[in-house]
C-alpha cells in the first residue's frame, strides 16, 4: 500500500482484513494478524493499535515490531505523547523524525527508540476517537498523503471491528467515553431563547455501515450516483414546499444547502474512496469522518457552518444508500421532545413534528448557524456549544432547558424539577401580563414618555414589531443577511429585503445600521480574517470606508427601497468625526446619483451614528452638529471603556454597566445631546434589562431599543417608576467609589414596588 501501489494495493489489503473480521477465532489473535498484515502492506517495520480504556487512557492492544511484553502494559493518557496527541485532536500525524516532536514521550518497555519516522491516525467509532493506529520505520521517511488516506481507510475497518465488541466489551468501551450518570448541569451558548422541559431524544442514532469492502467498484459508483440524485431531489422538494414559498432568510439558507448537494468536489472525494475498494456507504462515511476532523480545526464560524451542512448532507446520503430513514424524525416522538445532536443541518430540523419538538441542544453550533436561524423562525429554544453533551446525556433522560441563560439540567432532582416547573408557569403568567400592556404607552409615574423599540436583523424578526407593540425598529442589523449567504448580495437583492422591512414596519420608524462585519462576525468574501485582536481590528465602518464599493452598493439599495418614505441610516464603529463625514458624503452622493438617473428619492433622510468608541465621546459636540441622531452601543462601549473583552468569561462580571463611572459617561452624553437637541437612544443589552433601563431613563435617555422579549418586562418596570426621584438618588452617588450602584437601585426598586 505504498504511494505507487495504485488502487489495487488498498483493495487487496481490505479484502484480507474482511476475511480476518469474518473469522470467528480469538479476537486478540485476529488483531495480531491485522497489525502484521498492515505492516507488510505499508512496508513498515512497526504497526501498533492503541484502544481507549476507562480513565481516558490509551492501551497498547497489539503490535508488530515493538516488544511483545509491552502489549496491555503500556498506557498513555489522552493528550500524552504522540499517540495521545492524535487521540486528543482527532487528526493524523505524519513525522519523519518523531523523536524531535515536542510531544514525543519515550516508553522504554516498547523498544521504540530505534524507530525514527511515524504515521498515526485516529480510530473513530460513533463519532468518537476510540483508538489510534500507527506505523513506524527505522529510517527517517516522509509518509505521503496517499499513505495517510490508506491508513485512515484501514482504521475505519478496524473501528467497525472494535465497535462490534469483540475486542473490548461495548459496555466497557462506552464507559471509557461516558462518565457516570447522575444529575448534571451543562452551560453553553444561547442560540434561540425560551424555556422547555422534555425527554432527551438522539437526533441521529448511528447509521451502522456493515458492508465496507466492495467486490465491484463500478457497481458501487453507480449506486453512489443514484443516491446523490435522490438526495438532490429531496432537497428540491423541500424548497418547493409551502413553508418556503414566501422567501426570507430560511429559504436562502436552504438555497445555499442545495448548492452543496451539487458540489463536484464532494462527489469526487467519495468516488476516489470507492476506487480504493470501499462500498458506496463506506466511502461516504470515510469522507464524512475526514470533514468532521477538519471541522475541529476550523475557527472561522462561516466556514464551520458550511462544513456542518456537508455533514448533514452526508448523513442524508447514507440513508438514501441504505434505504432507511433513521433520524428520530421518522419514529414516534415523545409528547415533549428535546432533541440532542452534535450539530444539525437546517433541512433536518424541518423533518420534525413541530408540535412535539420543544427544544434543540447541540454540542457545536453558533449564533449564525443555519439551524439556529430556522429555529428562531419556528420559536424553538436552542442552546449550542454544550461541551460533552452526547457523552453526559443519554436518550430518555429528563431534561430542563433554560435557553434564556443557556443552561441545561439533565436528570434533575425532584426539587429542581419543581422549581423549574414553577419558572415555566411564572414565565407564562408574566407573558400574559406583559401582553396586556402591549398597547399602553411606556409613561413613568411622573409623566416621562419613553420610546421602546426592538432590535432586529432578519425578516423573521419583523412579526415581533406587532406582537410587542414596540414603537419601531431602533436597530436593524443589516449584516445578518450577509451571514446566511455565500456571496455579497447585489443591489436588487438588498433593496428587496430593505423594502420588505419598511413595508412590515408601516408608519413606524426603522433605523438601518450599515454592515457591521468583521470581529466575531466573519464573512469570508470581505477578507480581513486572522487578526490577533479582531474586536479592535478591521471591522464595521472601517471596512466600509476602505472598500467603498461595498458601502455604496448598500446605500444605493437603502435609497431605492425607501423611495417616498423616510430613510434612517446609522454608521457603526465610528471612532472620529472625520469617519462619519466621509460615510455621510458617500451616502449623499448616492442620493444625488439616484435622483439624476430618474429614481424617486426618500421623502426624508436622517443620518446618525453609533457611539461605541470612547474617543468619540470626547468629540461629541463636533459630532452633534453633524448628525440627526445618535445611538449608544452599550456592549462595545463598555468593552472599550474598561479594556475588557466581553467574550472572556473571566471578565464577564468584572465590570458593571451600573458602575458610577459608566453612569457618569451616560449622563454626559445625555446632557450634551439634550443641549444640542439631538435624539439619543441606547440599543445595546443595557436597554433591555429593567434595572438598567430605569437608570437610563432617570439620566434623561428616553429612547431604548432591545430584543423583542424584553419589551414587556422593561415597560412594566417603567410604568412604576418615578424618574425624577430615581435621578436624584443616582446623582448623589455618581462621585462614589463604589464598584456598582446595582444593589442600591435594586433596593429602591423593591421599596417602590417596581418589578425588575
Can 320 be counted among the known catalytic residues?
A: no
Residue 519 in contact with residue 535, Cβ under 8 Å? yes
- What are the CA-CA distances from residue 653 to residues 547, 648, 657, 752 (Å)? 37, 10, 10, 27
DSSP for 195-241, please give it.
EEEEEEEES---------B-S-HHHHHHHHHHHHHHHHHHHHHHHTS
Would you say 469 and 439 are in contact if contact means Cβ atoms under 8 Å apart?
yes
Task: Determine whether 164 is exposed, middle or buried from the number of CB atoms within 10 Å of its CB (0-12, 13-18, 19+).
Answer: middle
Rounded to 5 degrees, φ, ψ at 268 are -60, -40
Q: How many CB atoms lie within 10 A of CB 606?
A: 16
Give me 340's grid cell: 440532542
Measured distance CA(756)–CA(360) in Å, rounded = 29
- For the CA atoms of 512, 518, 524, 526, the dihedral, rounded to the nearest 10 degrees, stands at 70
Closest listed residue to residue 466, CA positions, set 412, 505, 416: 505
Farthest CA pair distance, the chain: 90
The dihedral sign for the CA sequence 539, 544, 547, 553: positive
Cell of 379: 420559536
Out of 320, 481, 594, 683, which one is annotated catalytic? Answer: 683
Residue 673: active-site member: no
Rounded to whole angstroms, how far apart are CA atoms 685 and 675? 26
| CA angle at 298 for the pair 297 and 299, rounded to the nearest 5° | 115
Q: How far apart are CA 406 and CA 408, in angstroms?
A: 7
Residue identified by cell 415555566 is 424
Dist. CA 563–CA 567, nearest whole Å: 9
Q: Which residues of 84-103 are buried (b: 16+ CB within 10 A; e: fewer)?
A: bbbbbbbbbbbbeebeeeee
CA 739 – CA 654 distance, rounded (Å): 9
Which residue is catalytic, options 370, 481, 594, 673?
370
- Residues 48, 226: Cα–Cα separation, whole Å: 39
- Residues with a catalytic annotation lie at 370, 683
Amino acid at each position: 500500500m505504498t504511494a505507487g501501489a495504485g488502487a489495487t494495493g488498498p483493495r487487496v489489503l481490505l479484502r484480507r482484513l474482511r476475511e480476518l473480521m469474518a473469522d470467528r477465532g480469538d479476537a486478540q489473535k485476529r488483531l495480531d494478524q491485522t497489525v502484521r498484515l498492515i505492516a507488510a502492506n505499508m512496508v513498515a517495520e512497526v504497526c501498533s493499535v492503541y484502544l481507549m480504556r476507562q480513565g481516558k487512557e490509551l492501551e497498547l492492544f497489539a503490535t508488530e515490531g515493538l516488544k511483545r511484553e509491552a502489549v496491555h502494559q503500556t498506557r498513555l493518557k489522552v493528550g500524552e505523547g504522540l499517540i495521545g496527541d492524535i487521540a486528543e485532536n482527532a487528526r493524523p500525524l505524519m513525522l519523519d523524525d518523531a523523536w524531535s516532536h515536542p510531544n514525543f514521550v519515550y516508553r522504554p518497555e516498547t523498544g521504540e527508540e530505534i524507530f525514527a519516522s511515524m504515521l498515526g491516525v485516529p480510530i473513530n467509532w460513533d463519532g468518537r476517537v476510540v483508538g489510534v493506529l500507527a506505523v513506524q520505520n527505522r529510517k527517517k521517511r516522509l509518509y505521503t498523503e496517499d499513505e495517510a488516506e490508506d491508513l485512515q481507510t484501514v482504521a475505519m475497518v478496524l473501528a467497525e471491528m472494535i465497535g462490534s465488541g469483540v475486542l473490548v466489551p461495548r459496555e466497557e468501551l462506552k464507559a471509557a467515553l461516558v462518565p457516570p450518570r447522575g444529575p448534571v448541569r451543562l452551560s453553553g451558548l444561547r442560540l434561540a431563547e425560551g424555556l422547555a422541559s422534555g425527554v432527551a431524544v438522539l437526533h441521529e442514532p448511528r447509521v451502522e455501515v456493515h458492508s465496507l469492502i466492495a467486490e465491484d467498484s463500478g457497481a458501487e459508483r453507480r449506486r453512489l450516483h443514484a443516491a446523490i440524485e435522490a438526495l438532490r431531489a429531496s432537497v428540491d422538494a423541500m424548497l418547493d414546499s409551502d413553508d418556503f414559498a414566501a422567501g426570507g432568510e430560511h429559504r436562502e439558507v436552504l438555497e445555499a444547502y442545495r448548492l452543496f448537494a451539487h458540489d463536484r468536489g464532494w462527489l469526487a472525494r467519495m468516488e476516489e474512496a470507492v476506487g480504493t475498494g470501499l462500498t458506496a456507504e463506506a466511502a461516504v462515511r470515510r469522507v464524512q469522518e475526514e470533514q468532521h476532523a477538519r471541522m475541529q480545526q476550523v475557527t472561522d464560524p462561516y466556514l464551520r457552518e458550511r462544513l456542518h451542512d456537508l455533514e448533514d448532507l452526508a448523513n442524508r446520503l447514507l440513508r438514501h444508500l441504505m434505504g432507511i430513514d433513521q433520524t428520530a424524525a421518522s419514529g414516534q416522538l415523545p409528547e415533549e421532545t428535546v432533541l440532542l445532536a452534535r450539530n444539525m443541518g437546517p433541512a433536518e430540523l424541518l423533518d420534525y413534528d413541530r408540535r412535539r419538538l420543544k427544544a434543540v441542544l447541540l454540542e457545536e453550533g453558533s449564533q449564525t448557524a443555519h439551524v439556529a436561524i430556522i429555529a428562531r423562525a419556528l420559536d424553538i429554544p436552542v442552546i449550542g456549544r454544550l461541551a460533552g453533551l452526547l457523552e453526559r446525556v443519554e436518550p430518555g433522560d429528563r431534561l430542563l432547558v433554560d435557553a434564556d441563560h443557556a443552561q441545561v439540567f439533565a436528570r434533575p432532582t425532584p426539587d429542581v424539577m419543581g422549581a423549574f416547573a414553577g419558572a415555566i408557569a411564572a414565565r407564562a403568567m408574566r407573558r400574559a401580563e406583559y401582553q396586556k400592556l402591549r398597547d399602553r404607552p411606556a409613561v413613568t409615574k411622573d409623566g416621562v414618555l419613553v420610546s421602546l423599540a426592538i432590535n432586529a436583523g432578519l425578516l423573521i424578526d419583523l412579526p415581533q414589531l406587532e406582537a410587542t407593540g414596540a414603537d419601531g425598529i431602533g436597530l436593524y442589523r443589516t449584516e445578518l443577511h450577509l451571514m446566511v449567504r455565500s456571496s455579497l448580495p447585489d443591489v436588487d437583492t438588498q433593496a428587496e429585503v430593505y423594502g420588505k422591512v419598511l413595508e412590515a414596519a408601516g408608519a413606524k420608524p426603522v433605523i438601518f445600521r450599515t454592515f457591521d462585519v468583521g470581529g466575531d462576525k466573519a464573512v469570508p468574501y470581505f477578507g480581513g480574517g486572522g487578526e490577533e485582536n479582531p474586536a479592535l481590528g478591521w471591522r464595521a465602518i472601517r471596512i466600509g470606508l476602505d472598500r467603498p464599493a461595498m458601502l455604496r452598493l448598500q446605500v444605493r439599495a437603502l435609497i431605492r427601497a425607501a423611495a417616498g418614505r423616510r430613510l434612517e441610516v446609522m454608521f457603526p464603529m465610528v471612532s472620529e468625526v472625520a469617519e462619519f463625514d466621509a460615510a455621510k458624503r458617500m451616502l449623499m452622493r448616492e442620493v444625488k446619483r439616484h435622483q439624476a438617473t430618474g429614481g424617486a428619492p426618500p421623502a426624508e433622510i436622517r443620518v446618525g451614528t453609533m457611539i461605541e468608541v470612547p474617543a468619540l465621546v470626547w468629540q461629541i459636540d463636533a459630532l452633534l452638529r453633524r448628525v440627526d441622531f445618535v445611538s449608544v452601543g452599550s456592549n462595545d462601549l463598555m468593552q472599550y471603556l474598561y479594556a475588557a473583552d466581553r467574550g472572556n468569561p473571566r471578565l464577564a462580571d468584572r465590570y458593571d454597566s451600573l458602575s458610577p463611572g459608566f453612569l457618569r459617561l451616560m449622563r454626559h452624553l445625555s446632557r450634551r445631546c439634550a443641549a444640542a437637541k439631538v435624539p439619543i437612544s441606547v440599543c445595546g443589552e443595557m436597554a433591555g434589562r429593567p434595572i438598567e433601563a430605569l437608570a437610563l431613563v432617570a439620566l434623561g435617555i428616553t429612547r431604548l431599543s432591545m430584543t423583542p422579549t424584553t419589551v414587556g418586562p422593561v415597560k412594566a418596570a417603567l410604568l412604576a417608576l418615578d424618574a425624577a426621584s430615581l435621578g436624584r438618588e443616582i446623582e448623589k452617588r455618581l462621585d462614589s467609589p463604589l464598584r456598582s450602584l446595582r444593589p442600591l437601585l435594586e433596593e429602591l426598586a423593591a421599596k417602590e414596588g417596581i418589578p425588575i
